[in-house]
Amino acid sequence: MSVSLDSPEQLPEAYRSTGMRSRALRTLRRDPGALLGASVITFLVVIALAAPIVAPYPAQGRGEADVPARDLAPSWEHLFGTDHLGRDVLSRVIFGGRPALGVAFAVVILAVLIGVPLGMVAGYRGGWLDEALMRFTDLFLAFPPLLLAMVISATLGASLFHAGLALAISWWPWYARLARTVTQSLKHEPFIDAARVFGVREPVILARHVLRNATTPILVQATIDAGTVILAVGALAFLGLAAQPPTADWGLMVAEGRTTVVTEWWISTFPGLAIFAAVLGFNLLGDALRDVLDPKTGTR
């Protein structure tokens, strides 16, 4: 995860004002990192959505076995080879994009939906509400990353759903904190004061004025986090705490291929490569977004 922001002074200038959007987009289009990242993600999302059409052996992608054809090396019939149950690895990698990207988007969206409103209200109101939120998020943030997710998944019963739930529970505090910090830095800006003077009610202030200015850091964080969630879900699946057989899931496939990684290297290598590519895409895009929207703290 990126550096947590806990005090308004640390927020970059650009997040506090509007109007740079169109310029930003133009710069983004020319940035090689952004282009690469965006293309990789778009490509993965498209083939994941179109999996039944794109995959050469869609039934095997869903889990159907073909025992006589097991452990075959990559060939023209099976570009990525077959696994221990004879299933085409390429098809399974394509189908594996579904749980990975699905959980990534779901977790990030859920974390944003829960965390941001809470953080905004706490940051705007201050006082005991703010204190309470801080203590509550402290609780979740004190768990080492992934450990909470592991415990929740193990005790509720390992499944993709529980893993996703566990990760969403682990992630929302970051967005609450981020939203809180942004709100705190904005709440004394002139235009917010003006809105208050004009009698605009608090929910409207939060929803229209604060949120509009908060979208940028949240968007950057969310993009990078999508990648981190894919890593986390892959790690949980590798331990056996997320998707279960016969689901095609990248982390699970790496674990399944581990026993024969020396002789049948393709079973573990390609799913791992897929995880790497997806995460790389999100990181590149997130980096580019951050660079473009705030040249000062970006890595430009």
- Minimum Å gap between C-beta 206 and other proteins is 24
C-beta of residue 61 within 8 angstroms of C-beta of residue 92: yes
C-beta of residue 213 within 8 angstroms of C-beta of residue 186: yes
Q: Is 30 in the site for other proteins (CB under 8 A)?
A: no
Member of 19, 30, 127, 135 binding other proteins (CB under 8 A): 135
Member of 24, 35, 219, 261 binding other proteins (CB under 8 A): 261
Q: Is 211 in the site for other proteins (CB under 8 A)?
A: no
- Minimum Å gap between C-beta 149 and other proteins is 9
- Minimum Å gap between C-beta 236 and other proteins is 10
Enter the tokens of residue 251.
């982390």
C-beta of residue 90 within 8 angstroms of C-beta of residue 79: yes
- Minimum Å gap between C-beta 227 and other proteins is 7
Q: Is 293 in the site for other proteins (CB under 8 A)?
A: no
Q: 88-127: which residues touch other proteins (CB under 8 A)? A: none
What one-character DSSP code corresponds to residue 231? Answer: H
Enter the tokens of residue 26.
């133009």
Give whichever of 81 and 205 is closer to other proteins, judged by the CB atom: 81
Q: Is 278 helix (H, G, I), strand (E, B) or coil?
A: helix
Task: Report the C-alpha gap between 296 and 266 in whole angstroms.
Answer: 43
Enter the tokens of residue 255.
């674990």
Q: Is 158 in the site for other proteins (CB under 8 A)?
A: yes
Q: 237-256: which residues touch other proteins (CB under 8 A)? A: 238-241, 244-246, 251, 254
What one-character DSSP code corresponds to residue 88? Answer: B
> Minimal CA–CA distance to 230: which of 90, 110, 97?
97
Member of 92, 179, 287, 292 binding other proteins (CB under 8 A): 287
Q: Is 231 in the site for other proteins (CB under 8 A)?
A: yes
Q: Is 188 in the site for other proteins (CB under 8 A)?
A: no
Q: Is 298 in the site for other proteins (CB under 8 A)?
A: yes
Q: Is 13 in the site for other proteins (CB under 8 A)?
A: no
Q: Is 138 in the site for other proteins (CB under 8 A)?
A: yes
Q: Is 82 helix (H, G, I), strand (E, B) or coil?
A: strand
C-beta of residue 173 within 8 angstroms of C-beta of residue 137: yes
Q: 262-281: which residues touch other proteins (CB under 8 A)? A: 262-263, 265, 268-269, 272, 275-276, 279-280
- Minimum Å gap between C-beta 207 and other proteins is 29
Instruction: Give the length of the chain.
Output: 300
Residue 223, CA atoms < 13 Å, CB-side half-sphere: 20
